[in-house]
Structure 1
Amino acid sequence: MLRLFDVSYDELTEILSDDLYRLRKQTFKDRLGWEVTCINDQEFDEYDNQNTRYILGVYNGQLVCSVRFIGVAHPNMITHTFQAFFSDVALEVNKIESSRFFVDKDRAKRLLGDRYPISYILFLSMINYVRHYGGEGIYTIVSRAMLTILKRSGWQIEPLKEAWASEKERIYLVYLPTDDKSQTQLAERINQSLQTDFSALTSWPLALPVTKAPV
């Protein structure tokens, strides 16, 4: 089973934290070329702290995906790192900021198969997580490529503002709703591939079957 669950910064074991930060370095520094802080082949920053929770996606003991959550009332990338770009957008402090969304493509392909809808499952896990804890929505900053993936998923996202992070890179502040409709649409999309018990897709934590043999 693929298991997605949440942990606090303090609950991360040394093994999991090392793997998490190493995979983040491989994703954001090596593959995407972002200007991120890396030490000892790991990527982490000032937002990895006691105010943070992580969703971890694990299959057979191996981490394949993750996303970081911080309450908007605490320092986060929107209100601090990218404050100059988005300070004119009023954020609701009862909502959550997400960042460092990634899927390790090599591991996911090897462990789950080519067509396993892992990105959509991680999107759904974000909705389920927020709903489980009584939240109402998510803010995030995404690249143009990630904006396209979000739109293709069927998630009825709301772009709030576009900005130029550099001469070549556009970024987007986006609101991600976590209402019944958003949850149902993503769950139905995923279930076209998994054909599993629908209630399993709308629960938290998630435990989902892997129907295709690893390659």
Structure 2
Amino acid sequence: MMEIFDVSYNKLSDKRSMELFSLRKSVFKDRLDWAVNCFNGMEFDEYDHPNTTYLLGVHDNTVICSLRLINIKNPNMITGTFYRYFNQINIPEGNYIESSRFFVDKERVQNMSCNQYPVSTMLFLAALNYSRKFDYEGILTIVSHAMFIIMKRSGWHLTVLEKGLSEKNEKVYLLCLPVDTENQNILINCINRKKILLKNKEWPLSFTLTEPV
């Protein structure tokens, strides 16, 4: 069974934080070669702070995917690190949350025989459900072109607010992701097509991973 749940920065245990930040280093530095800060084999930055919440996707007590959430009114990557990638950034008025550091560890997913399942879409649904539970109007995030394509394929009715270029001169997008029931059902239906048993469509999420038929 795979579970996705939230953990605040202050509640993250030393063991789990080491696991999470080590995975982030292997993904964002080693695999993607992003300009990220690493120390003692871990990746973390100034946005890992007491106002941060992490969504952790766990299978057999092992993290296989995660993302980071910060209220847009607090210091975040959109108005901080990534701001220089765009000619301008206009944050919508309202109660929004920023998502960053989205990853799925491909090696762990494969080793745990979870590679046939839509782990990315499960994590999308988790972010949407968390945002709904805490009354956010939507999710703001900056993504690469590759992630933009993955999100489009999920069916999520995203809106491109701005387009920019990263430090590698690659396309990046500032997106607004709606969290209404229509988009919740779109993501649920996408997951169900893979023969995944979703035990509860609200927060938190629990999936039974059965063999596809």
Which bracket does the TM-score occupy, shorter chain normalised? over 0.9
Aligned partners of 1:96 and 1:137 also within 8 Å: yes
2:63 partner amino acid: L
Matched residues in 2 for 1:12 and 1:88: separation? 32
Matched residues in 1 for 2:91 and 2:58: separation? 35
Partner of 2:123: 122
Q: Secondary structure at the match of 2:197?
A: coil
Structure 1 residue runs of 5 or longer lacking an equivalent are: none
Matched residues in 2 for 1:139 and 1:22: separation? 25
Partner of 2:104: 103
RMSD: 1.5
Q: Please tell me whether residue 165 in structure 1 is matched to residue 163 in structure 2.
A: no
Matched residues in 1 for 2:15 and 2:111: separation? 21
Matches within 5 A, 1:176-195: 176-195=177-196
Aligned partners of 1:113 and 1:212 also within 8 Å: no
Q: Please tell me whether residue 135 in structure 1 is matched to residue 119 in structure 2.
A: no
Q: Secondary structure at the match of 2:186?
A: helix
Q: Secondary structure at the match of 1:166?
A: coil
Relative to 1, partners in 2 of residues 1:167 and 1:64: Cα closer, same or farther, differing over 3 Å? Answer: closer
1:141 partner amino acid: I
Aligned partners of 1:72 and 1:93 also within 8 Å: no
2:182 partner amino acid: K
Partner of 1:196: 197
Deviation at 1:99, TM superposition (A): 0.2
Once the two structures are superposed, what CA deviation does each residue of 1:195-215 show, in whole Å capped at 9, x if it has no partner? 525xx35211111101139xx
Aligned partners of 2:197 and 2:209 also within 8 Å: no
Q: Secondary structure at the match of 2:36?
A: coil
Q: Please tell me whether residue 64 in structure 1 is matched to residue 64 in structure 2.
A: yes
Once the two structures are superposed, what CA deviation does each residue of 1:26-64 show, in whole Å capped at 9, x if it has no partner? 000000010000000100000000010000001111000
Partner of 1:78: 78
1:49 partner amino acid: H
Aligned partners of 1:72 and 1:92 also within 8 Å: no
**% same residue:** 46
Partner of 2:209: 210
Q: Which has the higher helix share?
A: 1
Deviation at 1:89, TM superposition (A): 1.4
1:129 partner amino acid: Y
Relative to 1, partners in 2 of residues 1:111 and 1:74: Cα closer, same or farther, differing over 3 Å? Answer: same
Q: What number of residue pairs does the alignment pair up?
A: 211
1:62 partner amino acid: T
Q: Please tell me whether residue 91 in structure 1 is matched to residue 92 in structure 2.
A: yes
Matched residues in 2 for 1:3 and 1:102: separation? 16
Matched residues in 2 for 1:167 and 1:117: separation? 29
Q: How high is the TM-score relative to the length of structure 2?
A: 0.94
Relative to 1, partners in 2 of residues 1:208 and 1:161: Cα closer, same or farther, differing over 3 Å? Answer: same
Deviation at 1:167, TM superposition (A): 5.3
Q: After TM superposition, what 4+ stretches of structure 1 lie above 6 angstroms from structure 2?
A: none
Structure 1 window deviating more from structure 2 (202-211 vs 141-150): it is 202-211
